[in-house]
Amino acid sequence: MALLLWLGSQLSSIWSNISILGVFLTVFTLLLDFMKRRKKWSRYPPGPASLPFIGTMFSVDFHNPHHSFGQLQKKFGNIFSLQNCWTNVVVLNGYKTVKEALVHKSEDFADRPYFPIYEHMGYGKNCEGIVVARYGHVWKELRRFSLSTLRNFGMGKKSLEERVVEEAGFLCSEIKSEEGKSFDIHVLLNNAVCNMICNIVFGDRFDYGDETFKKLSRLFQNSLDQETGFLPQGKAAEENGFHHNNLRLVVLDLFTAGSETTSTTLRWALLYMLLHPEIQSKVQAEIDRVIGRERPPSMMDQASMPYTNAVIHEVQRCGDIVPVGLPHMTYRDTELQGFFIPKGTTIITNLSSVLKDETVWEKPNEFYPEHFLDAKGHFVKPEAFLPFSAGRRACPGEQLARMELFLFFTTLLQKFTFVLPEDQSRPREDGHFALTNSPHPYLLRALPR
């Protein structure tokens, strides 16, 4: 009996010690979390209350973050702070705020946070491309090399324009083979735009039915396993970032940034033409007047086609293809509109709030091409049109994308009238967010003109 009492007292003592240790660890963990989340800076942007460990994650709908940011903007203003676990995040909203950060203080906001996905893909923590790379000497060298290479391969020149027109012809042939039946044009648009990057990177295009091309379209990041013959060599070049993995990432960036966004924009364009047949008719009338039905369109035609140009720009604005852009990071301590933002803070530029800024756009939530036309019908582009972002991190392929959008769009509407299938209900106008904002699947019929 005495032994049992002794064992009981020992167990009670052990449990008491465990309880004390548990309380200590809990208090220590909460204190550590508090110290991690505590803002030691004055004039730091306000934001919603931060919960232990998870921060403000419940304040954001990650399926529609730009909508959540819009609601938080109404409560906290154009600059507010969030906390993703222990990561400090500042969100910038509205044209004036975003322009001041990306243009007037471009270097302060030019860095990028770490993207772990590239390390998971086997590239290593120190590998860099041109889109998500950290700001510095290597990024500058790779970006300069990428832009010069794109120019050497025809960006901005007649030779590349001719290849886009040729690809548009192949696309129209595939559409014509549908014989006016209803179909989803998603894959065909992806193929056409992806082929343009293949033309630049590999020097050739693929047939749409090619099995290798299908695999490339689905998993191109796993297919970019070959050296390219136009790369600089030598030890000095490697020190400047020109080694195999970095250059593979540059090619990957060209495919991801140069194909997905453009093909998604074209899907939005055709969706808006289905929903607004009167606008489609006006575009076709301008095409017939300036180009005709037989001659392929040229970039020289763009200046004579203000309405078509306005429609394409309104597609980009209203479609809101990259609503929150890619995250930036402050390169140094900085100030913005009276707020202090320390070095290493993750920055989200809410481009959706710029493209739909109520102080700039007459009808921000409607498809309204007149946003880009003056009273005389001339094309104008408001400064708040920033679908490609701005500053040092602006999209390096903007010129290529603008050429592709104009030539593909005008060719498609020159050759076809796009209508809704009789048995299909009106497609949804809201987008599906997954980094890019893309239309929900829809069917169309392409009637030869």
Q: Mean pLDDT, the chain, as a whole number?
A: 83
Q: What is the DSSP letter of 365?
A: T
Domain span at residue 53 reads: 42-125+321-355
Give residue-wise pLDDT tens across range 333-344. Answer: 999 999 999 999
Q: What is the pLDDT of residue 154?
A: 65
Reply yes or no on whether the pLDDT at 353 is more than 70: yes
pLDDT number for residue 352: 95
Q: Is 259 a residue whose pLDDT tops 90?
A: no
Amino acid at site 220: F
For residue 362, the tally of other CB atoms under 10 A from its CB is 9
The answer to whether residue 19 scores a pLDDT higher than 70 is no
- Tell me if 217 is assigned to some domain: yes
Q: At residue 192, does pLDDT exceed 50?
A: yes
- pLDDT score, position 211: 82
Please check whether residue 408 lies inside any domain of the structure.
yes
Contact 388, 395 (CB under 8 A): yes
Which among 448, 449, 440 is positioned nearest to 181, based on CA atoms?
448
Residues 143 and 80 in one domain: no
**Does some domain include residue 377?**
no
CA angle, residues 433, 388, 304, in degrees to nearest 5: 115
Strand partners, 349: 92
- 420-428, Cβ contacts within 8 angstroms, sequence gap of 24 or more: 420/274, 420/444, 420/445, 421/182, 421/445, 423/182, 424/182, 426/275, 427/271, 427/274, 427/275
Q: Which of 19-28, 187-196, 221-230 has the lowest mean pLDDT?
A: 221-230
Q: Between 118 and 416, whose confidence is greater?
A: 416
DSSP 126-150: T---SSSPPSSHHHHHHHHHHHHHH
Q: Which pLDDT tens digit goes with each residue over 52-93?
A: 878 888 888 888 899 999 999 999 999 999 998 788 999 999
| In the block, residue with structure tokens 């990028």 | 112
Residues 162 and 276 both lie in one domain: yes
Of residues 256 and 110, the one with the higher pLDDT is: 110
Let me know: does 76 contact 104? Beta carbons within 8 Å. Answer: no
Q: Is residue 242 part of a domain?
A: yes
How much is the CA Rg of the chain, to the nearest whole Å? 26
Res. 235 pLDDT band, cuts 50 70 90: very low
279, 345: one domain: no
277, 248: one domain: yes
Residue-level pLDDT at 25: 56
Question: 116: domain CATH number?
Answer: 3.30.43.20
Under a CB-based contact definition with an 8 Å cutoff, are residues 347 and 92 in contact?
Answer: yes
Q: Are residues 212 and 79 in the same domain?
A: no
Chain Cα centroid distance, residue 3: 72
Q: pLDDT higher for 194 or 152?
A: 194
According to the model, what pLDDT value does residue 445 have? 96
Q: Determine which helix (DSSP H) or strand (DSSP E) holds 347, and give its type and residue range.
A: strand 346-349
pLDDT at res. 125: 54
What pLDDT does 225 receive?
34
Model pLDDT, residue 326: 86
69 domain-assigned: yes
**Residue 116 sits in the same domain as residue 167:** no
Tell me what the mean pLDDT of segment 301-321 comes to. Answer: 97
152 and 262 share one domain: yes
For residue 177, pLDDT over 60 is answered with: yes
Are 150 and 297 contained in the same domain? yes
* Residue 279, SS3 per DSSP: helix
In a domain, residue 313? The reply is no
Residue 272 shares a structural domain with residue 334: no
Does some domain include residue 1?
no
111-118 mean pLDDT? 72
pLDDT at 364: 95
Based on the structure, what is the number of domains in the chain?
2
Instruction: Give the pLDDT mean for 328-357.
Output: 95
Residue 87, pLDDT score: 87
Residues 61, 168, single domain; the answer is no
- Identify the residue with better confidence: 90 or 397: 90
Whether residue 165 is found in the same domain as residue 283 = yes
**pLDDT score recorded for residue 230:** 35
pLDDT at 54: 83
CATH number for the domain including 194?
1.10.630.10
* CB neighbour burial string for 50-72, b if at least 16 within 10 angstroms, e if fewer: beeeebbeebbeeebbbebbbeb
> CB–CB of 90/346 below 8 Å?
yes
Give yes or no for residue 232 having a pLDDT over 60: no
Q: What is the pLDDT of residue 424?
A: 84
Q: What is the mean pLDDT of residues 94-118?
A: 88
Q: What is the mean pLDDT of residues 174-199?
A: 91
Span 317-339, average pLDDT:
94
Q: What percent of the chain has pLDDT over 90?
A: 53
What is the per-residue pLDDT for 238? 47
* Model pLDDT, residue 419: 97
pTM as predicted: 0.82
Structure confidence at residue 35 (pLDDT): 53
The model's confidence at residue 359, banded by pLDDT at 50, 70 and 90, is very high
In a domain, 104, yes or no: yes
Query: What is the tens place of the pLDDT at every residue in 32-46?
Result: 545 555 566 789 999
Q: In the predicted model, is pLDDT for residue 366 greater than 90?
A: yes
Same domain, 291 and 440: yes
